[in-house]
Structures are given as structure tokens and as C-alpha cells.
């Protein structure tokens, strides 16, 4: 007996070979930021041009988290698909009219966990966006509440590249952590060759949880106490209202993200992406700068034991520390503290860029009292300060 091979059978074999790809552990700040935000149980919105891999990233994330993926194309649904369809019972006057949820919501409740992917969010009309408000924030679909094991991620194209695109409404936009999704040329080439990056789950250090929460609360509260205008800033521009902007809700998200990032020991690049995605670029950068200042050593500790001092590597942070040391001496001057400050400036000269020492050294010199002895080590700084000042004059 002979069997004929159908053309589509051979095509199926070829497709199977093309789909036979592997993954590898690879540092990817986008995937890391997305995974951390999902772990923090915050709704995430991926912004990116069509065809750059947003949906593929969600499929890979679902596999990494071992969660079933439920995809809902927001733009092809009616508002009642999210708020629930009214179902008239036997006696509406006494029992009311329940709102029946769609089948995908029922499946999520039955499974108890899952990754709900709201795709093409920027093509959803305003009425659908309004119906999504309770889904995203309260996890309610009709009469059902989605279980805690369900995570929500959405994707959107910029209005300029979306089919019949709409700007996101401010109430809906403010419920998301916004991540800008781009492609990496090397990742694409390697992926098309059969190896794609694998999302690594954040490893939270159980010993750091309490400190992480305290650090996050202190960072956010100290900034907002000093900058009360940042608590709530609804952008005037319509397009910016559809992105990340500061409100009490988004500051709470930023606080949670800082706590998770601290407990996981993530990089500054990942933390920056998450914080700016929660409260916007301007407030986010101010918060990051505040975090940097929190990590700076106390000038009083440095003056008490300059021999054991460790100065920051980054130039801007080192400059801030040296300025803080000089300010501390000015506030409470004494010969021993003055000498200790010179020791710290010499350490800065030996371990970093000489130009960072010029301004604090010049200021510290003016604080000397007549009866204070000039330390011998100050000669090490004299040449640097003089050379820098001559260079400044030459540039004028």
C-alpha cells in the first residue's frame, strides 16, 4: 500500500523547523523591568511601534511565569464586554439585574491565576476605555472579581502609528506603569537565528524586605515633603495625559516599584525605567536624584574618620559629598574638623578627577582661623588648584 504525501504535510514539517527555537539567559533591561512590575502586581502598558515584539515578549513572560495567557483585543469589544452584560432574572424588582461577565473572565476566575493581555489599547474608543477602568484598577469584570493570581499587561501603539488610534484617557493612563518598548538589533538578529532572550524572574532577598520598604517610603516621602507641587500634576498637553504623570496613585506605584527593585538588587537602569514609567520623566528623574542623595555618606561620619572614608565613584555624587563636608565645617568650625576636611580632599584628589577638588578646596581655605596650623599635606592640593584656575582664565 502506498501513501501519498500531501503538500501541506511537508509545509507543516518546514513550519515546525522554523518554530524550533531556543532561549538563553541574557541581560535585557526591558524584560527585567516588565517582569519586576508584573511581580509587583502592577498593571503595565507597553508602548512601541507595530511589529517590534511586544506580543512575543508577553508570550515569553507567560511561559517564564508559568501562567496561562489570555489575550483580549480591546478595540474589537464593546463596553459591556468589560462592565458586564445585563441578565434579567425571574424577579428583577427584588433580585436586581446581574451583570454577566464574558467567558475569558470566567476562565481566569476558574484557573485562579493568569496573565491578562489587553492588546491594541490605543485603538479602543473612549467608551471602551471607560469600561476598562474597573478592570485595570479593581480587577472587576461585571459581577466577577479577578483573583489575586491574575496579572494585567497591556500594549499600545503610538497614535501616529495606530489604526484609528485614540489618545489614552487620563484616568486609564494613570492606572498603568508605562514602559517604552524598543528593539535591540543584536537580539533580533540572534533571535531570527534561533535563540531568543529569556525573561529572568526577579530574585527577592527575604532578608532585605523590611529595609526595602523603609527605604522606598523614605525616598518618596522625603521628595514629596520637599516638593509638594509634585504630588499631583495633570499635564496640560492631551498626548502627555495619555502617558505617565504624577498623582497619589502613581506615587504609590513608584513606592512599590522602588521596594521591589531594592529587594531584588536591580540595576539603576531598570529602576529608572520603572520610576519614570510610573510618574513621568521629570518627577521620576527628581526621585532618582533624591535616591542618590540618600545613598551618600554622612559628612559628619567622614569628618570623624577620614582615614576610613570611601567616596562615591560618580563625579556628581563625589562633588556633592565634598561640598557637604565643607558645609559641615563651615557650620561647626574647629581646627580638627578643618584638618579632617583637607584629608578628605586629598583622598578625592588621589582617587578621582582633580577638577572636582578645586571649588571645595578654595572654599575650605577661606574658613581657616589665624591660630590654625596649615597642614603639610595641603601642598598636594596647591598645584592642582592653581593649575585649574589658570586653565579657567585661559578659557575666558
Torsion 259-263-280-148 (CA) sign: negative
- Pair 333, 375 in one domain: yes
- Pair 286, 211 in one domain: yes
Q: Which of 294, 316, 341 is the last residue of a domain?
A: 294
Instruction: Determine the angle formed by the axes of helices 315-331 and 335-351, rounding to 10 degrees.
Output: 170
Q: Which of 152, 167, 198 is the last residue of a domain?
A: 198
Give the span between the Cα atoms of 323 and 359, in whole angstroms: 8
Q: How confident is the model at residue 226 (pLDDT cuts 50, 70, 90)?
A: confident
Any idea which of 65-69, 174-178, 222-226, 380-384 has the lowest mean pLDDT? 380-384
152 assigned to some structural domain: yes
- Pair 129, 222 in one domain: no
150 assigned to some structural domain: yes
- Pair 56, 158 in one domain: yes
- Pair 181, 287 in one domain: no
- Pair 164, 125 in one domain: yes
48 assigned to some structural domain: yes
337 assigned to some structural domain: yes
Alpha helices in the chain, H assignment, sequence order: 7-19, 29-39, 54-65, 80-83, 92-95, 103-111, 126-138, 170-173, 185-192, 209-226, 238-241, 248-264, 268-279, 281-294, 299-304, 315-331, 335-351, 355-366, 379-395
- Pair 138, 277 in one domain: no
The residues near 300 (Cβ < 8 Å, ≥ 6 apart) are: 328
- Pair 147, 283 in one domain: no
Q: How confident is the model at residue 97 (pLDDT cuts 50, 70, 90)?
A: low
9 assigned to some structural domain: no
- The helix (run of H) or strand (run of E) holding residue 354 is none
Q: Which residue has the higher pLDDT, 346 or 274?
A: 274
Least Cα distance to 257 among 236, 238, 273 occurs for 273
308 assigned to some structural domain: yes
- Pair 285, 167 in one domain: no
Give the span between the Cα atoms of 287 and 215, in whole angstroms: 12
**How many other C-beta atoms can be found within 10 angstroms of the C-beta atom of residue 78?**
13
66 assigned to some structural domain: yes
Q: What pLDDT, on a 0 to 100 scale, did the predictor assign at position 216?
A: 94
pLDDT tens per residue across span 106-150: 999 999 999 999 988 888 888 888 889 989 988 988 888 999 999
- Pair 115, 177 in one domain: yes
Least Cα distance to 43 among 111, 129, 138, 166 occurs for 138
12 assigned to some structural domain: no
- Pair 34, 183 in one domain: yes
Name the DSSP letter for residue 295: T
Q: What pLDDT, on a 0 to 100 scale, did the predictor assign at position 2?
A: 53
pLDDT tens per residue across span 369-380: 888 888 776 777
What is the rounded average pLDDT of the residues 242-258?
96
- Pair 53, 180 in one domain: yes
- Examine the pLDDT at 63 and tell me if it is beyond 90: no
List the CATH number of the domain containing 184.
Answer: 3.40.50.300
CA angle 20, 23, 26 (to 5 degrees): 155
**Segments forming the whole domain that contains residue 303:** 299-395
Report the number of distinct structural domains present in the chain.
3
Q: Which of 264, 279, 294 is the last residue of a domain?
A: 294
Given a contact cutoff of 8 angstroms between Cβ atoms, the answer to whether 111 and 68 are in contact is: yes
Where does residue 153 rank: exposed (0-12), middle (13-18), buried (19+ CB within 10 A)? buried
Amino acid at each position: 500500500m502506498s501513501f501519498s504525501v500531501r503538500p501541506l504535510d511537508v509545509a507543516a514539517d518546514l513550519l515546525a523547523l522554523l518554530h524550533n527555537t531556543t532561549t538563553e539567559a541574557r541581560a535585557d533591561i526591558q524584560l527585567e523591568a516588565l517582569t519586576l512590575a508584573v511581580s509587583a502586581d502592577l498593571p503595565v502598558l507597553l508602548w512601541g511601534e507595530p511589529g517590534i515584539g511586544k506580543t512575543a515578549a508577553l508570550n515569553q513572560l507567560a511561559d517564564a511565569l508559568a501562567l496561562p495567557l489570555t489575550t483580549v483585543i480591546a478595540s474589537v469589544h464593546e463596553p459591556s464586554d468589560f462592565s458586564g452584560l445585563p441578565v434579567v432574572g425571574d424577579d428583577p424588582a427584588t433580585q436586581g439585574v446581574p451583570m454577566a461577565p464574558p467567558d475569558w473572565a470566567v476562565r481566569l476566575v476558574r484557573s485562579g491565576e493568569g496573565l491578562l493581555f489587553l492588546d491594541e489599547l490605543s485603538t479602543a474608543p473612549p467608551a471602551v476605555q471607560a469600561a476598562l477602568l474597573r478592570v485595570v484598577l479593581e480587577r472587576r469584570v461585571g459581577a466577577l472579581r479577578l483573583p489575586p493570581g491574575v496579572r494585567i499587561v497591556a500594549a499600545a501603539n503610538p497614535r501616529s502609528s495606530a489604526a484609528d488610534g485614540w489618545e489614552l484617557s487620563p484616568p486609564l493612563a494613570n492606572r498603568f506603569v508605562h514602559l517604552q518598548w524598543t528593539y535591540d538589533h543584536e537580539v533580533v538578529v540572534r533571535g531570527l537565528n534561533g535563540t531568543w532572550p529569556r525573561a529572568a524572574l526577579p530574585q527577592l532577598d527575604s532578608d532585605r524586605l523590611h529595609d526595602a520598604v523603609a527605604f522606598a517610603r523614605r525616598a518618596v516621602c522625603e521628595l514629596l515633603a520637599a516638593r509638594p507641587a509634585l504630588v499631583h500634576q495633570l499635564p496640560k498637553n492631551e498626548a502627555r495625559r495619555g502617558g505617565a504623570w504624577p498623582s497619589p496613585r502613581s506615587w504609590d506605584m513608584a513606592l512599590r516599584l522602588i521596594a521591589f527593585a531594592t529587594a531584588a538588587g536591580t540595576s539603576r537602569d531598570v529602576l529608572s525605567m520603572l520610576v519614570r514609567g510610573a510618574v513621568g520623566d521629570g518627577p521620576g528623574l527628581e526621585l532618582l536624584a533624591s535616591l542618590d542623595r540618600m545613598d551618600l555618606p554622612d559628612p559628619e561620619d567622614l569628618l570623624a574618620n577620614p582615614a576610613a572614608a570611601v567616596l562615591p565613584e560618580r563625579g556628581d555624587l563625589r562633588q556633592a559629598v565634598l561640598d557637604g563636608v565643607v558645609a559641615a565645617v563651615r557650620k561647626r568650625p574647629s581646627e580638627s574638623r578643618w584638618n579632617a576636611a583637607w584629608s578628605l580632599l586629598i583622598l578625592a584628589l588621589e582617587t578621582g578627577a582633580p577638577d572636582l577638588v578645586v571649588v571645595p578646596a578654595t572654599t575650605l581655605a577661606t574658613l581657616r582661623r589665624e591660630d590654625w596650623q596649615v597642614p603639610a599635606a595641603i601642598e598636594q592640593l596647591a598645584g592642582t588648584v592653581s593649575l585649574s584656575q589658570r586653565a579657567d582664565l585661559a578659557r575666558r
